[in-house]
Structure 1
């Protein structure tokens, strides 16, 4: 089976989680299944030297396969920003990937047992990933909007709302297909891919799967609709019971990947955080719960300052971008719009 490229987007507040992901990859991911590890650095000023060195240490024997790419190398930072720039970058990176498939992760994902490329792509070359209904899903409107943009008819839209690929990571992309999606969008719109992505308020996973379903070979040609389990502890379930439920799902599905959302670590009560520390220790990511607890405390100390910094700099960048894009008024226009006194 061909090796894979693994892609993770990170910004300031999630750097410690990326370190944990790197540690888990070094421990559990089959080196023969890894062509490259691409870190899409979406931080405002770029990862610092100390952060880069810590990350590389955590990747262990895989560190020579790590490449850090600034998202602004892939997309015009004036075209989109923040969360949306992360989405666009997950697709734009396909133009720099050499493997037939790549796996997109969030920084919150970490491996919990031995895993290989066979977890993500089957022997026929189809990606793992089971569809689910969007009938009452909060992203239903976004799905319908994306499909409408792609020219889906009523039957295609109805079928997609009934069952469509998820928007969660890990997500497996067919590299050539992503390139075809971007080329098609640029050709039809007359704009760069990031510009059109932002202008139409698209979502990366919906755009990719929707294009395959409406303009490509159909989802069944590229996806096997088999489960790719990756239980997560989400903010709405930030409780001891929520953590227990995610761990039970992890055990039941024999999942290779688990996730804890950053907001859970930032805001959960001590009992919940202790349960997470215990789980990480059981997964073999820390030698004991005390070490995991130290990691969580470090994350919490850095989290709020990182969020405040990032949001502040994003506001500045948007303001500068808006001024650069604003049309200049000629003197004649100024005179004609100035009221007589």
Structure 2
């Protein structure tokens, strides 16, 4: 056992030290404390916020990501209060989805525990017969079209790579006026055109492109009614469904920049979004040191961080230090009851994504040899 994990194991009441009961007590105490704070906050909140604090969760997934979805389901069952959630929509971004849907029903849905009865499974075929050339484009359509299947005023979009690592409740997701919290950032040079094109599409104030705006990535809480109206406008204007729109459009807008641009056009951005703490730390950040710095922030147990993102690419040949930090974060936050259980889960993810990488390399080599055989010989 390495240094960081040994330190956690030696700490009184840690999951490694006293596997089951300690973590249960830690979770229970943390949740009770959070709910106690929440009760105090609720007494000061407007009645409208109290009525609108339930939300739905939407995750778009494809076959390769099923093990990550299983981890997310486990985390939601452990850390999300049942009374916070209206429904959980799993959106399968595949047209031949029968096998994955059956697997999710059998292996993933039970992991949601008491929330399992809230799970709804939809597929991209439910919104379009048009097959996008790139899965990332139909994924964007799925995140917006999910608004037609949700029941709550707001819905939280997640990617399969995200999982919850600490108890969350209303105060983590909404401000005291019931507005969804989302960190606002300066647009990166490569991403600024996303918002510029989105504002132009809805004839919204272009000045918004030069101001801080919500980070264009999940976790992102969206106002369902606004999304539905936006989708209706786009499909009516373009004469095509949303999957085809994303696949064929020439501008650089994305699902989240279009949503924000629509709020700007409606002058309702201050009603449905507020700049607030970033609850996400992820292994996808820039350089190796930046990535590890993010993991160390999560390890400190900062209460702001409730969502952990592990991109599947980082699970291929995972460096030992990243592996150690990942396990340490899981154990620090009590996602697993024992280090053995956490290690087994990470081993399974690594095996899965390394096997997929091996298959991809094999396909690439076959294609390379095929092209070589077809290459004309010099005369």
Instruction: Report TM bin, short chain.
Output: 0.7 to 0.9
Aligned position for 1:103 = 156
Once residues 166 and 198 of structure 1 are traced to their aligned partners in structure 2, the CA distance between those partners, rounded to angstroms, is 22
Q: Is the 8 A contact 1:9 1:41 kept in 2?
A: yes
1:227 aligns with 2:280: no
Q: Is the 8 A contact 2:301 2:333 kept in 1?
A: no
Once residues 225 and 160 of structure 1 are traced to their aligned partners in structure 2, the CA distance between those partners, rounded to angstroms, is 16
Aligned position for 1:40 = 91
Q: Is the 8 A contact 1:281 1:289 kept in 2?
A: yes
Q: 1:309–1:96: structure 2 CA closer, same or farther, 3 Å change rule?
A: farther
TM-score normalized by the length of structure 1: 0.81
Q: Is the 8 A contact 1:108 1:261 kept in 2?
A: yes
CA apart distance, 1:192:
2.5
Aligned position for 1:131 = 184
Aligned position for 1:254 = 304
Deviating more after overlay: 195-204 vs 90-99? 195-204
1:236 aligns with 2:289: no
CA apart distance, 1:195:
2.4
Aligned position for 2:340 = 290
Among candidates 190, 193, 198, match of residue 146 of structure 1: 198
Q: Is the 8 A contact 2:316 2:357 kept in 1?
A: no
Q: 1:37–1:48: structure 2 CA closer, same or farther, 3 Å change rule?
A: closer
Among candidates 127, 131, 135, match of residue 82 of structure 1: 135
Once residues 8 and 142 of structure 1 are traced to their aligned partners in structure 2, the CA distance between those partners, rounded to angstroms, is 22
1:160 aligns with 2:212: no
Q: 1:122–1:235: structure 2 CA closer, same or farther, 3 Å change rule?
A: closer
1:299 aligns with 2:349: yes
Q: 1:306–1:11: structure 2 CA closer, same or farther, 3 Å change rule?
A: farther
CA apart distance, 1:189:
2.4
Gaps of 5+ in 1: 314-341
1:185 aligns with 2:225: no
1:205 aligns with 2:256: yes
CA apart distance, 1:44:
5.6
Deviating more after overlay: 162-171 vs 138-147? 138-147
Q: Is the 8 A contact 1:129 1:223 kept in 2?
A: yes
Residues 189-239 of structure 1, C-alpha deviations (whole Å, 9 max, x = no match): 23323322332253100000011112x133112212222421112163446
TM-score normalized by the length of structure 2: 0.73
Q: Aligned to 1:267, what secondary structure does the other structure show? A: coil
Once residues 86 and 36 of structure 1 are traced to their aligned partners in structure 2, the CA distance between those partners, rounded to angstroms, is 20
Q: Is the 8 A contact 2:89 2:150 kept in 1?
A: no
Residues 149-178 of structure 1, C-alpha deviations (whole Å, 9 max, x = no match): 2224xxx33432331111121100100000
CA apart distance, 1:304:
4.6
Any runs of at least 4 consecutive aligned residues in structure 1 with deviations exceeding 4 A, and if so which?
A: 304-313
Once residues 148 and 232 of structure 1 are traced to their aligned partners in structure 2, the CA distance between those partners, rounded to angstroms, is 31
Q: Is the 8 A contact 1:101 1:172 kept in 2?
A: yes
Q: Is the 8 A contact 2:184 2:212 kept in 1?
A: yes
Q: Is the 8 A contact 2:296 2:325 kept in 1?
A: no
Deviating more after overlay: 283-292 vs 85-94? 283-292
Aligned position for 1:19 = 70
CA apart distance, 1:33:
0.5
Q: 1:50–1:211: structure 2 CA closer, same or farther, 3 Å change rule?
A: closer
Once residues 137 and 69 of structure 2 are traced to their aligned partners in structure 1, the CA distance between those partners, rounded to angstroms, is 19
What's the C-alpha RMSD, in Å, of the aligned pairs?
A: 2.6
Aligned position for 1:217 = 267
